[in-house]
Amino acid sequence: LGKKIIHKDSVSSTQVIAHQAAQENAEHGTIIIADEQTSGRGRMNREWHSANGKGIWLSMILRPAISPYLAPQLTLLTATVLADVVNSCTTLKPLIKWPNDILINNKKTAGILTEMQAEQDQIQYIVIGFGINVNQKRDELPEDLKRKATSLKIETKNNWPIKELIQEILQTFENTYDDYIAHGFPEIKSKWESYGFKTGKNITIKTLREQYEASFSGIADDGALLVKTKDNTVKKLYSGEIDWFQE
Ligand code: BTN
């Protein structure tokens, strides 16, 4: 991983560059990093603010020999890597909100976007992109995000060296990924659960079609979200959003 790192000053989105490179046969482990993204994107077609030099805006190309149905596991794997590195570097205690948000003190500091190209039950490639808010001051966050977002600087009052953080993330990712390919998902799952919500926590599930109250029941072996609804049935979810009440 990271044998080939493409570093750009400013791009529309590192996801776009990564898809282009993957289609031109870029090898497994190719990394695209930008100092600034002019149209960074998040899940659900949302915008991702990626100010120049303030955070980590990175996409990686993976070509894992796993079933496309297991791709969600890689999002959760990435979340544990980011949580581990944030914790080991800053000593902050991150919380992972399924599937892909890293929260600190209940505010989002990082997000992950996984996009896959698969044909006939075979993965051609996966692009995993993540954004981490590192050195923004509170007044540098966009107005509409101030309530919901944070950065490592806001939480620690320190500036953090972006280059060293990236190195740490890539190293940790490589070790965790190799371990996953060799031993499968169980270890990632328990690590994820150690950073996730406690089971039984009351949450609101929002999907494109509906919204309902449920309680968090952990994650499934394929990386899906498990929730228990009011009538005590357990549902398995592959997409959607969680809202929760602060307790
Ligand atoms: C989310 O939480 O909605 C996912 C955010 C993903 C943002 C990263 S930044 C690097 C890569 N390039 C993008 O345009 N998006 C991802």
Q: What is the pLDDT of residue 244?
A: 79
Over the chain, what is the mean pLDDT? 95
Contact 22, 127 (CB under 8 A): yes
pTM for the whole structure = 0.95
In the block, tokens 């993965």 appear at: 123
**Distance from Cα 233 to the centre of ligand 1, integer Å:** 33
Q: Quote the tokens at residue 216.
A: 């968090």
Q: What does residue 92 show for φ and ψ, rounded to 5 degrees?
A: -65, 160
Summarize the confidence of residues 50-55 as an average pLDDT.
97
Task: Tell me the per-residue pLDDT of 63-74, one tens digit each, with 9 for 90 and over.
Answer: 999 999 999 999
Task: Tell me the per-residue pLDDT of 67-121, one tens digit each, with 9 for 90 and over.
Answer: 999 999 999 999 999 999 999 999 999 999 998 899 999 999 999 999 999 998 9
Higher-confidence position of 45 and 56: 56
ipTM of the complex: 0.99
What domains does the chain contain, in order, with CATH numbers?
A: 5-195 (3.30.930.10), 202-244 (2.30.30.100)
| Residue bearing the CA closest to ligand 1, atom 11 | 129
Contact 113, 40 (CB under 8 A): no
Q: How far apart are CA 164 and CA 145, in angstroms?
A: 27
Torsion over CA: 61, 114, 42, 136 (sign): negative
Strand partners, 227: 216, 235
**Distance from Cα 185 to the centre of ligand 1, integer Å:** 24
**Distance from Cα 56 to the centre of ligand 1, integer Å:** 10
Rg of the chain taking only CA atoms, in angstroms: 17
